[in-house]
Structure 1
Amino acid sequence: MTEGGYKYQIKGCAVQGGFAQVFKAYVDNNPDDVVALKPPFPWEFYMYRQLDMRISEKKKLHLYSDYSILVSDYLVHGTLQDAINSNTVIGGSMEEVLCIYYTIELLHILEILHDIAIIHGDFKPDNLLIWYSRDDLTESKDDFLTCSGPWHNQGLCLVDWGRGIDLCFFPEKTKFIGDSRTLGFRCIEMQENKPWRGHFRWTCTGCVSLFT
């Protein structure tokens, strides 16, 4: 498949989501240049563009009258939910220090989204891809806190922005009424049909979930 001057060799379905399949592909037949291809909602690409402008996250979209393809980095290590499930299958649990690390990552993502006035709308372990650095991680506290050095490419990547909300379109302090209908990850305000904005809840998996 050729799009936007690039030739993508599709290597199979990487994941089957609730609304779309995501495919693994080589760019110009280069096995070292691997991307994920997904048929997105145009709104999802808009949200990625806002992230691009506000926190330098890069994506490409090929949009036509009859179809569209979202091109993004291909992360091979699965989701945070996969990591949780892998421990459950063997009757164990994730190491405490790793739980603490991922919790810090989750809260850091939430803090950034609040700062740039964006709500994700479906914040849960299934939508958080694990990202491992190719380089050895330093023990520097400053590198960890600032996500610099090899820590820059280590952590979690939030995906699936089809339910995203750009708060810049609304008056300050606007609240919303609605239900994500994602079982187990609905904030209390949704469950009680009350207004919400940047609400979230903790689940039994130890992961912070939902809205922003």
Structure 2
Amino acid sequence: MNKLSSKLFGFLCCPSFHISKREDIVWWKAWIIRAISVVLALIVCGVITVALTDINPVRMYITMFEGAVGTSRLVWNLLQNTAILLCVSLAVTPAFKMRFWNIGAEGQALIGGLATATCMIFLGERVPAVILIPLMLVISIIAGAVWGLIPAIFKARFNSNETLFTLMMNYIAIQIVSYFTLEWSVPKGSGTPRTLEFGQLPVLFGQKYLFNIIVVLLIT
């Protein structure tokens, strides 16, 4: 038993293999590896699907594709969601670069959105759009940063686990936003969001979110 334990301890401390990024691989080999990985993932998922549900995997993938980009509306929804994820990913990149595991991007984005909505509701009729939109941007960044600063302070002061802390703060942010959604809904308490025309970004080619998507692509 002691011999087995020592071998297990030695394997965990000094594993016989490790995963590392190859810096010298040429670009076309890297893309071939990515393509093979995607194909293998589809095959494995298809095999598991057949084994567990007897559903035709080809039909399943076709349905998934149609559900994502089957209509022009779905395509724009996909692009909008992709832009949101890209923007949020870019925001948390510095923390990951410093080896701090910020899992609270959802909560920080929600608090930033809440700050933006607050500006729209209380300043929309008083401040021109040329001032309101930059103000909304600055306030949302500050609000999200402050929400992210809370676990950072606890990490620095009490050496708390930032992964768990930031994750739990997501749920607090969700409840705060849910409360104000009901508070500011029309009629009050209905949960129907108030429609505001203040602080809206330009509509390009009839698409409301195209400007946002272009800005996010330029940033990333």
TM-score past 0.5 threshold? no
TM-score range, shorter chain: under 0.3
- Please identify which structure carries the higher helix content: 2
Q: If the length of structure 2 is used for normalisation, what is the TM-score?
A: 0.23
Q: If the length of structure 1 is used for normalisation, what is the TM-score?
A: 0.24
Q: Please say which structure displays the higher CA radius of gyration.
A: 2
